[in-house]
Amino acid sequence: MKRSSMLVVGLFALLCFASCKSSKKEEKEGETKYLVTTPIKMDTSVTKEYVSQIRSFRNIELRAQEKGYLQNIFVDEGQFVKEGQLLFKIMPKVYEAELEKAQAEAQAAEIELQNTKSLADKNVVSKAELAMAQANLAKAKAELSLAKVHLAFTDIKAPFDGIIDRLPLKLGSLVDEGELLSSLSDNRQMYVYFNVSEPEYLNYEESVKEKKGKMPVNLLMANSEVFKHTGNVETIESEFNNETGNIAFRATFPNPEGLLRHGETGKVQMVVPLKNAVVIPQKATFEIQDKHYVYLVDKDNKVKSQEITVEAEMPDLFVVGDGLSETDKILLEGVQKVRDNDKITYEFEEPAKVISHLRLKAE
């Protein structure tokens, strides 16, 4: 009997302890006040990065125009050459012989014309024969000009100042007509191509009209350093890509030091205007498997997670693409302390005030 009484007393004390602990926990939770705000809709601008391809102002393939043995290579890979500089020479002996033959035939045709003309003056031959002799001379002169061109094609010269690329053929190689000898790049200016979405294109066109000038852009190189010269967007392709919904922009960058080379990659940094953008603090969000979420606060003061898409990022702020409207109440602080369907007590803070003193993301 005594043992049973002690058991009852112990159970009562345990229940009292649990009840007190639960009461204190509820009291503590009831005292916690969270900060709540709403998204703000505003006109702003963000610096966006676009993967880009860097191309030389001029980049051409140097190909053989005649068949023959590669007799001389006057340049090395990576060498800077001047316009008109001799780069390669195809063995010219065959073409020199053809030129000599054409010269002899032209001489013979000229002599024949003089004889025919002399006979025609004496009415020994008809005017038709004279005309034929004149035609033969014209044909011989044309073949002579062609032979000179063929011989000139054995010298491959630089059409402009630039840098020689790789040399795939070695001295003495048999070269076919049209075979690649090297490439030549004029890197004084560089074309940088990047793709822009349709909404960004429309915003860009409006911005350019307002500013009445070209859009300046920066180039982030592959080593994460910003190229020291600023470029300008100069042209836009005529059509959108139906598969991606993008259109290609071309920016031109000066390259006086020759740092940029044809075929490099980088990222163009362009200031993109955003009209009526829905903006929220970054610290009001949390991530699950690379997706962004916020907690919405309903009319019963309960929180519920909502997935959002982030269209752009600014210091401490996100521009929201989908998932929120400017009237939604979102949990600003304490996103790591609540769960779905938790009921909270909160204080509301105007979004403009939140943004004005915003400094760091929540942890």
CATH number for the domain spanning 194: value is 2.40.30.170
Contact 218, 269 (CB under 8 A): yes
Q: Is residue 192 part of a domain?
A: yes
81 and 165 part of one domain: yes
pLDDT of the residue at 139: 95
Number of structural domains the chain divides into = 3
Contacts of 226 (CB under 8 A, 6+ apart): 218, 219, 220, 269
Domain enclosing residue 131, as ranges: 92-153
Q: What is the CATH number of the domain that holds 135?
A: 1.10.287.470
pLDDT of the residue at 1: 44
> How far apart, in whole angstroms, are the C-alpha atoms of residue 228 and residue 276?
33
Handedness of CA 318, 323, 328, 331 (dihedral sign): negative
Query: What is the tens place of the pLDDT at every residue in 83-112?
Result: 999 999 999 999 999 999 999 999 999 999
133 and 70 part of one domain: no
Q: What is the CATH number of the domain that holds 168?
A: 2.40.50.100
Q: Is residue 332 part of a domain?
A: no
Contact 302, 3 (CB under 8 A): no
Q: Is residue 147 part of a domain?
A: yes
Handedness of CA 332, 335, 337, 340 (dihedral sign): positive
145 and 76 part of one domain: no
Please name the residue that has the structure tokens 């033969």. Answer: 136
For the whole model, what pTM was predicted? 0.71
170 and 199 part of one domain: no
pLDDT of the residue at 147: 94
Q: Is residue 236 part of a domain?
A: yes
Task: Sort strands 86-90 and 246-254 into parallel, antiparallel or unpaired.
Answer: unpaired
pLDDT of the residue at 203: 82
pLDDT-flagged residues of the chain (< 70): 1-31, 212, 359-363
pLDDT of the residue at 25: 46
User: What rounded mean pLDDT belongs to the chain?
Assistant: 88
Q: Is residue 343 part of a domain?
A: no
- Which of 238, 273, 308 is the last residue in one of the domains? 273
pLDDT of the residue at 231: 96
pLDDT of the residue at 360: 42
Q: Is residue 243 part of a domain?
A: yes
First-residue to last-residue Cα distance in the chain: 58
Q: Is residue 126 part of a domain?
A: yes
The CA dihedral of 193, 196, 198, 202, to the nearest 10 degrees, is -90
197 and 253 part of one domain: yes
Closest CA to 334 of 285, 279, 278: 285
79 and 138 part of one domain: no
**Inter-axis angle of helices 127-152 and 93-121, nearest 10:** 160
At 111, is the secondary structure helix, strand, or coil?
helix
What are the backbone angles phi and psi of residue 39, rounded to the nearest 5°?
-65, 160
Query: What is the tens place of the pLDDT at every residue in 153-195?
Result: 999 999 999 999 999 999 999 999 999 999 999 999 999 999 9
% helix / strand / coil in the chain, to the nearest 5? 30, 40, 30
> How far apart, in whole angstroms, are the C-alpha atoms of residue 38 and residue 294?
11
